[in-house]
């Protein structure tokens, strides 16, 4: 028999969802069967799985050790592997429920393959090293990053340290009570603020999106608002200057590659964006300025439900802005 006492980290979720986290290899139908047979109890009594867990609740699982280990699964990196990671992250804000990080370009927000190392793993390693998480904690709950940035986009990542924190962030994003502002560098001079709309369609096989002015099958409506902060020229060959605009972008709808594809569709692709941008000019940027990633940075969040936080722009932005 294994007893788990619910802490503030796990409180707030339904009993059934908690069991799916603790016993991911068991399956939903099997767990309901075990609840009916009282092989799993809540506070010593029969439960149906819909109960909302509170700190201090007692969960008892009447399985043999071998059965328990089998249903807990082995797919996740164990604590010893996580401890090998540096856990070096740039913390912008932290309290008992949430953690806000500044993600560098070049690393995934969350892993796409089992052997990937992403910001999610580095975030968990940081929480282990700081003493917030223990080995026992990780058997029943894993903190998680709640928003995603492309591998080559830098900036703000929102992380839930507890179920309450994950729900807090999830609700704010779903209800759009928090505004997400980005900074980017685009080709061409933009003189006036503007709100643009369109329809975005994603090709899953190529991981590429297209933007049209009219709705098409499987398309999603998008809205993007931008404000020019500065206009300048980059020098290429003698006598050749490339117009560039520094923008602040408010993401009104959050779709895959939205900012990159939407700005490209109006003739202002991001610097360094080989997927939606200008290959010849991007090759020049790579050669002359060492720019290898799209110049897009999740800069600020503000609104209700979450703190206002700003992530300083990275060095590659400053190189171009100050050059």
pLDDT at 260 over 80: yes
Residue-by-residue DSSP string for 65-98: HHHHHHHH-S-S--HHHHHHS----EEEEE-SSE
**For 150-254, where are the alpha helices, taking DSSP H only?**
163-174
74-95 pLDDT, tens per residue? 544 466 777 778 888 999 999 9
Cβ contacts of residue 1 below 8 Å, gap of 6+?
60, 61, 62, 63
Length reported for the chain: 323
pLDDT at 296 over 60: yes
> Can you give the pLDDT at residue 238?
63
Least reliable range by pLDDT among 51-55, 69-73, 312-316: 69-73
Stretch 16-36: mean pLDDT: 91
Stretch 289-302: mean pLDDT: 94
Instruction: Reduce the DSSP state of residue 2 to 3 states and report it.
Output: strand
Percent share of the chain, pLDDT over 90: 71
106-134 pLDDT, tens per residue? 999 988 777 778 999 999 999 999 999 88
The domain 2-72 is placed in CATH, from the list 1.10.3720.10, 3.10.290.10, 3.40.50.2300, 1.10.30.50, at 3.10.290.10
Q: DSSP state, 250? A: E
On whether the CB atoms of residues 292 and 104 are closer than 8 A, the answer is: no
- For the chain, the straight-line distance linking the first and the last C-alpha, in angstroms and rounded, comes to 65
- More confident of the two residues 226 and 139: 226
> Can you give the pLDDT at residue 33?
93
- Where residue 305 falls (left for φ over 0; alpha for ψ -120 to 50; beta otherwise) is left
On whether the CB atoms of residues 72 and 139 are closer than 8 A, the answer is: yes
Q: Which residue in 190, 269, 173, 258 sits closest to 224, CA to CA? A: 258
Cβ contacts of residue 86 below 8 Å, gap of 6+?
122, 125
Spell out the domain ranges in the chain.
Answer: 2-72, 79-173, 176-322
Looking at CATH, the fold of the domain delimited by 176-322 is given as Pseudouridine synthase (3.30.2350)
Tally Cβ neighbours within 10 Å of residue 64.
9
pLDDT at 46 over 80: yes
> Can you give the pLDDT at residue 237?
65
> Can you give the pLDDT at residue 78?
62
pLDDT at 297 over 50: yes
132-166 pLDDT, tens per residue? 988 778 878 889 999 999 999 999 999 999 999 99
> Can you give the pLDDT at residue 75?
44
Q: Are strands 154-160 and 296-303 parallel, antiparallel or unpaired?
A: parallel
Same CATH topology for 2-72 and 79-173: the answer is: no
Architecture of domain 79-173: 2-Layer Sandwich (3.30)
Looking at every residue in the chain, the average pLDDT score rounds to: 91
pLDDT at 35 over 60: yes
DSSP E strands in the chain: the ranges are 2-5, 40-42, 58-61, 90-94, 98-103, 144-145, 154-160, 178-187, 194-203, 208-212, 220-235, 241-251, 296-303, 309-310
> Which pTM was predicted?
0.83
């Amino acid at each position: 028999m294994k007893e788990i006492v619910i802490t503030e980290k796990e409180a707030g979720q339904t009993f059934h969802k908690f069991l799916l986290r603790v016993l991911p290899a068991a399956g939903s139908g099997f767990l309901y069967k075990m609840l009916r047979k009282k092989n799993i109890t809540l506070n010593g009594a029969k439960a149906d799985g819909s109960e909302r867990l509170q700190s201090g609740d007692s969960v008892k699982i009447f399985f043999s050790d071998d059965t328990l280990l089998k249903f807990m699964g082995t797919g996740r990196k164990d604590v010893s592997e996580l401890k090998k990671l540096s856990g070096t992250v740039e913390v912008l804000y932290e309290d008992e429920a949430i953690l806000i990080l500044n993600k560098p370009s070049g690393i995934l927000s969350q892993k796409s393959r089992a052997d990937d190392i992403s910001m999610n793993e580095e975030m968990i390693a940081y929480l282990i090293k700081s003493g917030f998480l223990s080995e026992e904690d990780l058997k029943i709950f894993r903190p998680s990053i709640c928003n995603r940035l492309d591998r080559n986009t830098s900036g703000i990542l929102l992380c839930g340290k507890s179920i309450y924190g994950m729900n807090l962030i999830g609700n704010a994003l779903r209800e759009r009570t928090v505004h997400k502002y980005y900074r980017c560098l685009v080709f061409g001079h933009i003189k006036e603020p503007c709100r643009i709309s369109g329809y975005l369609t994603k090709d899953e096989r190529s991981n590429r999106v297209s933007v049209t002015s009219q709705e098409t099958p499987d398309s999603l409506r998008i809205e993007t608002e931008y404000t020019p902060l500065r206009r300048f020229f980059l020098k290429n060959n003698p006598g050749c200057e490339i117009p560039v605009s520094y923008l602040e972008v408010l993401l009104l709808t959050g779709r895959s590659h939205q900012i990159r594809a939407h700005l490209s569709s109006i003739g202002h692709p991001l610097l360094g964006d080989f997927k939606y941008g200008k290959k010849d000019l991007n090759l020049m940027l790579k050669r002359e300025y060492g720019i290898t990633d799209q110049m897009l940075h999740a800069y600020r969040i503000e609104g209700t439900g979450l703190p206002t936080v700003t992530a300083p722009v990275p060095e590659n932005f400053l190189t171009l802005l100050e050059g």
